[in-house]
């Protein structure tokens, strides 16, 4: 084996097929064999990352995945939505001499990806049913002349014999299978056409395959590998944790009012509201319009042209809210979705994870709100029971139970969600779900339990939750009077307790197995456990204390990031104007995270503008001058010295408290913010150049331990550092030490 020019030891080198790694100047080519030999440590060229994608560093696992792909290995990638899966095949496509083919399930996703690549200066095309014959022939001609690096196609097209014959005549370096979970019957979005992709290995045995998905259980992962025929497959499982997403589950009471309140608290923010049926979609949409909010519907009952039109308006920020069934969403790459609301219960945790994963793809704080009721549970169970296939019915029931457990738990929702995908979330408090932000209180409730169970028994176990509460509250409804229930012993027995409190009691009794909910029109039923309690005539109930949620009355509000809102809005308006002129979604120009960084740093020359995340050479050339001019105009108008605006910044409110000598506990209590949020403020302050002495916040011994760990493992990923340091060190402490080291380096 020959060694490349950068290495003397031949056993450190590897041989790859001709055409690989052609951009690296260190490669040597054997004239007689046409084989390229290269040193494995030199695979990654950060200049490619900077020039085309505008990043200085890789995100979690990206570098390792790309190195494996470049070595010609089959790879399975599980990475959360917004985690950077696309880069794992887009980067290699620039290094390989041949073509990279991406299998993608939706036309809208293909177009967005191709448009994004072109704006980054990468030659990409798609072939699908939206193109006419002349366009397809032009693209085929370019492919034959090796003018295209990335080609997106649907799985169905791959199996067309004439197209397959055409592909055989091309130099293909890599196949990328996006949304790979669609190949598995155990997945939440099984698509039979994906099964045809097993022919890929038959017709192209030497071409490596990378399969990518955001949601796959252990069973689905095995299905993907087996169905695609992946050989010695290297598996990369990134953390499923979306740290920027905040999870809430709220009782399904006065839902429309709650939704309106959420939307009005987020003016100008994009969001999706998922509903169970077309009828609910239309009702919610019309209600929001009547309330003066900009919303459009999306469901399978609308014509294809209307769906496409509404989706385009949403993607282009012409309307803030899309109210939709699950027919909407797969392949939507809009990164500035600030909230996802589930009006109804999703059918399983995989669907919930994927749907909520459409929020906050730019890494900024976003909220996920699920409205839960037992009625929704019954609706899904009804449809499951209609399934004729026993195996499918049992799978669906098991999956429904997991989303019910998630909705009813009193523990950290993030921990349960990640645990479903086999990930052990070490923290007991994530500081980003309702149960962790405002833990539920325990109170002794033996008397209330007896009142509820007695009321259900008196009425013959024939009524639902709301009717039982009406009896307990001493209601005067016609139905109650006609049924003669005003004469019951339990009538009015709970009138001194708030109605929402009774809802909490009954939900907890059901969760703990003291009551059952049965029937198409759900009614409360006693069971052996509750009958045993009644037979003991009020004697102590096992685990007398039950949990009560106080988030109903006072929902936790996440303080929005406020980074020079005036300049950010100016830049957002400019972005929209440019996008409309080019008939592109605004986020393809720059996402919100890039705009916020511009508003914070105020770069007024090309050199500084180039340091903004997401600004590659092509975007600097296309948009740099326009955005720099807008920033300069704003700075001149504000008589600014080109520093981040501090007066309205949430971070600088924290800085002022630090300057006053307040400790972290005092700041969190004063500002009514989580400790994790305060750590984030301080990290941003350090990175923006503020002189924050973390020695006043973290013990010197801890700082020394964390610094040593970062020197040993690097600071790109927090999880390995946390695992090495142990439970006595928090993620917040690690982030502050890392920030100080980065600024001092």
Domain of 489, CATH number, reads 1.10.10.10
Residues in Cβ contact with 614 at an 8 Å cutoff, skipping those fewer than 6 apart? 53, 54, 55, 590, 591, 593, 594
pLDDT of residue 187: 53
Strand ranges for 533-667 from DSSP E: 545-548
Of 237, 269, 299, which residue is a domain's last?
A: 237
Same domain, 307 and 415: yes
Could you tell me if residue 587 is inside a domain? yes
Same domain, 690 and 654: yes
Question: For residue 110, what pLDDT band results from cuts at 50, 70 and 90?
Answer: confident
CA–CA distances in Å: residue 738 to residues 200, 288, 342, 485, 741: 45, 45, 37, 66, 5
pLDDT digits (tens, 9 = 90+) for 262-300: 999 998 899 999 998 899 999 999 999 999 999 999 998
Spatial separation of the C-alpha atoms in residues 418 and 245, rounded to whole Å? 13
Tokens at residue 498, please? 């708030």
Spatial separation of the C-alpha atoms in residues 630 and 638, rounded to whole Å? 12
Contact 448, 454 (CB under 8 A): no
Q: Closest Cα to residue 218, out of 410, 419, 35, 432?
A: 419
pLDDT of residue 25: 37
Q: Does the pLDDT of residue 7 top 50, yes or no?
A: no
Could you tell me if residue 272 is inside a domain? yes
Spatial separation of the C-alpha atoms in residues 182 and 98, rounded to whole Å? 27
For 230-334, where are the alpha helices, taking DSSP H only? 255-264, 278-290, 304-315
Number of domains in the chain: 5
Q: Does the pLDDT of residue 653 top 90, yes or no?
A: no
Could you tell me if residue 617 is inside a domain? yes
Spatial separation of the C-alpha atoms in residues 239 and 353, rounded to whole Å? 13
Tokens at residue 424, please? 């052990």
**Strand bridging mode 36-38 / 209-213:** unpaired
Same domain, 301 and 366: yes
Same domain, 188 and 272: no
Could you tell me if residue 317 is inside a domain? yes
Q: Does the pLDDT of residue 332 top 90, yes or no?
A: no
pLDDT digits (tens, 9 = 90+) for 668-708: 777 778 888 898 889 888 887 778 888 888 988 899 899 88
3-state secondary structure at position 554: coil
Spatial separation of the C-alpha atoms in residues 112 and 103, rounded to whole Å? 14
Spatial separation of the C-alpha atoms in residues 89 and 100, rounded to whole Å? 8
Residues in Cβ contact with 588 at an 8 Å cutoff, skipping those fewer than 6 apart? 112, 115, 116, 119, 579
The phi and psi torsions of 688 (rounded to 5 degrees) equal -85, 0
Same domain, 219 and 319: no
Same domain, 82 and 231: yes
Could you tell me if residue 299 is inside a domain? yes
Q: Does the pLDDT of residue 642 top 70, yes or no?
A: no
pLDDT digits (tens, 9 = 90+) for 240-259: 899 999 999 998 888 999 99
Same domain, 657 and 706: yes
Tokens at residue 228, please? 């695609």
Q: Which CATH number goes with the domain that contains 721?
A: 1.10.10.1390
Residues in Cβ contact with 668 at an 8 Å cutoff, skipping those fewer than 6 apart? 674, 675, 678
pLDDT digits (tens, 9 = 90+) for 119-151: 899 999 999 888 899 999 999 999 999 999 999
The dihedral formed by the CA atoms of 116, 330, 415 and 703, expressed in degrees to the nearest 10: 0
Of 237, 272, 287, which residue is a domain's last?
A: 237
Q: Which neighbouring-strand residues pair with 339?
A: 271, 367
Cα radius of gyration (the chain): 29
pLDDT of residue 158: 86
Spatial separation of the C-alpha atoms in residues 683 and 155, rounded to whole Å? 44
* H or E element that contains 55: none
pLDDT of residue 406: 92
Same domain, 279 and 309: yes
Spatial separation of the C-alpha atoms in residues 69 and 88, rounded to whole Å? 8
Spatial separation of the C-alpha atoms in residues 96 and 172, rounded to whole Å? 9
Q: Does the pLDDT of residue 16 top 80, yes or no?
A: no
Question: For residue 60, what pLDDT band results from cuts at 50, 70 and 90?
Answer: confident
Spatial separation of the C-alpha atoms in residues 424 and 426, rounded to whole Å? 6
CA–CA distances in Å: residue 349 to residues 102, 312, 580: 27, 28, 37
The phi and psi torsions of 492 (rounded to 5 degrees) equal 75, 5
Could you tell me if residue 5 is inside a domain? no
Could you tell me if residue 553 is inside a domain? no
Looking at the chain, the whole-number percentage of residues with pLDDT higher than 90 is: 31
Residue 147 Cα to chain centre, angstroms: 34
DSSP state of 559: P
Structure pTM? 0.68
CA–CA distances in Å: residue 103 to residues 157, 236, 363, 428, 710: 9, 19, 26, 39, 38
Q: Which neighbouring-strand residues pair with 125?
A: 151
3-state secondary structure at position 321: strand
Contact 644, 685 (CB under 8 A): no
3-state secondary structure at position 248: strand
Strand ranges for 253-294 from DSSP E: 270-274
pLDDT of residue 198: 85
Mean pLDDT (whole number) for 608-623: 90
pLDDT of residue 245: 95
Of 187, 217, 237, which residue is a domain's last?
A: 237
Q: Which CATH number goes with the domain that contains 73?
A: 3.40.50.300
**Strand bridging mode 516-518 / 523-525:** antiparallel
Question: For residue 384, what pLDDT band results from cuts at 50, 70 and 90?
Answer: confident
Same domain, 605 and 718: no
CA–CA distances in Å: residue 499 to residues 469, 471, 473, 496, 503: 7, 11, 7, 9, 6
* H or E element that contains 726: none
How does 482-499 read in b/e, with b if 16+ C-beta sit within 10 Å? eeebeebebbebbeebeb
Same domain, 56 and 144: yes
- Residue range(s) defining the domain that contains residue 203: 43-237
Mean pLDDT (whole number) for 548-552: 44
Helix pair 718-725, 731-744: axis angle to 10 deg: 120
Could you tell me if residue 557 is inside a domain? no
Tokens at residue 8, please? 């003397």
Spatial separation of the C-alpha atoms in residues 343 and 374, rounded to whole Å? 13
pLDDT digits (tens, 9 = 90+) for 88-104: 999 999 999 999 999 98
pLDDT digits (tens, 9 = 90+) for 194-205: 888 888 888 999
Long-range pairs of 508-512 with CB within 8 A, sequence gap ≥ 24: 508/546, 508/547, 508/548, 509/449, 509/452, 509/453, 509/546, 510/374, 511/408, 512/543, 512/546
Same domain, 513 and 480: yes
pLDDT digits (tens, 9 = 90+) for 559-602: 444 455 689 999 999 999 998 888 889 999 999 999 999 998 88
Q: Which CATH number goes with the domain that contains 630?
A: 1.10.150.80
Same domain, 274 and 156: no
Contact 369, 287 (CB under 8 A): no
DSSP secondary structure of 148-176: -SEEEE-HHHHT-HHHHHHHHTS-EEEEE
């Amino acid at each position: 084996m020959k060694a490349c020019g950068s290495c003397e030891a031949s056993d450190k080198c590897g041989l790859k097929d001709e055409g690989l790694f052609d951009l690296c100047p260190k490669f040597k080519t054997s004239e007689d064999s046409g084989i390229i030999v290269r040193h494995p440590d030199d695979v990654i060229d950060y200049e490619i990352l900077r020039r085309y994608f505008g990043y200085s560093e890789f995100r979690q696992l990206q570098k390792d995945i790309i190195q494996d792909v470049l070595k010609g290995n089959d790879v399975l990638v599980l990475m959360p939505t917004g985690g950077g899966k696309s880069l794992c095949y887009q980067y290699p496509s620039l290094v390989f001499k041949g073509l990279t083919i991406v299998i993608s399930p939706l036309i809208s996703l293909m177009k967005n990806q191709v448009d994004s690549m072109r704006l980054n200066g990468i030659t990409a095309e798609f072939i699908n049913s939206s193109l006419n014959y002349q366009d397809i022939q032009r693209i085929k001609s370019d492919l034959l002349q090796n003018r295209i690096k990335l080609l997106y196609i649907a799985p169905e097209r791959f199996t067309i014999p004439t197209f397959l014959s055409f592909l055989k005549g091309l130099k293909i370096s890599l196949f990328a299978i996006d949304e790979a979970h669609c190949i598995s019957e155990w997945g939440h979005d099984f698509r039979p056409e994906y099964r045809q992709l097993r022919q890929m290995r038959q017709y192209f045995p030497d071409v490596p395959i990378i399969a990518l998905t955001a949601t796959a259980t252990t069973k689905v992962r095995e299905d993907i590998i087996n169905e695609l025929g992946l050989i010695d497959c290297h598996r990369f499982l990134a953390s499923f944790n979306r740290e920027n997403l905040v999870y809430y589950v709220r009782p399904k009471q006065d839902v429309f009012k709650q939704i309106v309140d959420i939307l009005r608290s987020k003016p100008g923010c994009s969001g999706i509201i998922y509903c169970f049926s077309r009828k609910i979609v239309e009702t919610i949409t019309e209600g929001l319009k009547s309330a003066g909010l900009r919303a459009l519907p999306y469901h399978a009952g609308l014509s294809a042209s209307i769906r496409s039109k509404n989706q385009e308006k949403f993607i282009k920020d012409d309307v803030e809210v899309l109210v939709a069934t699950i027919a909407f969403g797969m392949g939507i790459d809009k990164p500035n979705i600030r909230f996802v609301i589930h009006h109804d219960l999703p059918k399983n945790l995989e669907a919930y994870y994927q749907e909520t994963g459409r929020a906050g793809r730019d890494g900024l704080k976003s909220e996920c709100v699920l409205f839960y009721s037992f009625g929704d549970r019954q609706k899904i169970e009804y449809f499951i029971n209609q399934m004729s296939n026993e195996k499918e019915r049992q799978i669906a029931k098991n999956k429904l139970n997991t989303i019910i457990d998630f909705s009813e738990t009193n523990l950290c929702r993030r921990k349960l969600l990640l645990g479903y995908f086999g990930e052990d979330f070490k923290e007991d408090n994530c500081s980003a779900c309702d149960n962790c932000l405002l833990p539920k209180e325990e109170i002794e409730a033996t008397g209330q339990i007896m009142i509820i169970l007695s009321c259900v028994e008196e009425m013959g176990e024939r009524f639902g939750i709301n009717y039982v509460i009406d009896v307990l509250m001493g209601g005067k409804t016609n139905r109650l009077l006609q049924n003669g229930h005003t004469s019951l012993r339990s009538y009015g027995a709970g009138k001194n307790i708030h109605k929402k409190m009774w809802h909490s009691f009954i939900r907890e009794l059901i969760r703990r197995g003291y009551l059952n909910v049965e029937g198409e029109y759900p009614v409360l039923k006693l069971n052996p456990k509750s009958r045993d309690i009644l037979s003991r005539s009020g004697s102590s109930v096992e685990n007398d204390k039950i949990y009560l949620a106080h988030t109903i009355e006072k929902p936790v509000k996440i303080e929005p990031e406020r980074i020079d809102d005036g300049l950010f809005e100016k830049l957002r308006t400019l972005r929209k104007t440019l996008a409309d002129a080019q008939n592109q979604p605004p986020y393809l120009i720059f996402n919100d995270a890039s705009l916020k960084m511009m508003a914070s740093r105020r770069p007024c020359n090309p050199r500084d503008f180039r340091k903004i995340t997401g600004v590659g050479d092509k975007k600097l050339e296309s948009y740099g001058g326009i955005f720099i001019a807008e920033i300069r105009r704003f700075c001149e108008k504000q008589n600014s010295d080109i520093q981040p605006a501090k007066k309205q910044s949430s971070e600088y409110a924290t800085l002022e408290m630090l300057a006053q000598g307040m400790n972290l506990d005092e700041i969190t209590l004063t500002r009514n913010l989580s400790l994790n949020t305060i750590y984030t403020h301080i990290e941003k302050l350090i990175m923006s150049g503020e002189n924050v002495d973390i020695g006043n916040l973290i013990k010197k011994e801890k700082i020394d331990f964390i610094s040593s760990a970062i020197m040993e493992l690097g600071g790109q990923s927090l999880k390995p550092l946390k695992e090495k340091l142990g439970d006595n060190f928090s993620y917040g402490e690690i982030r502050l030490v890392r920030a100080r080291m980065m600024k001092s380096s």
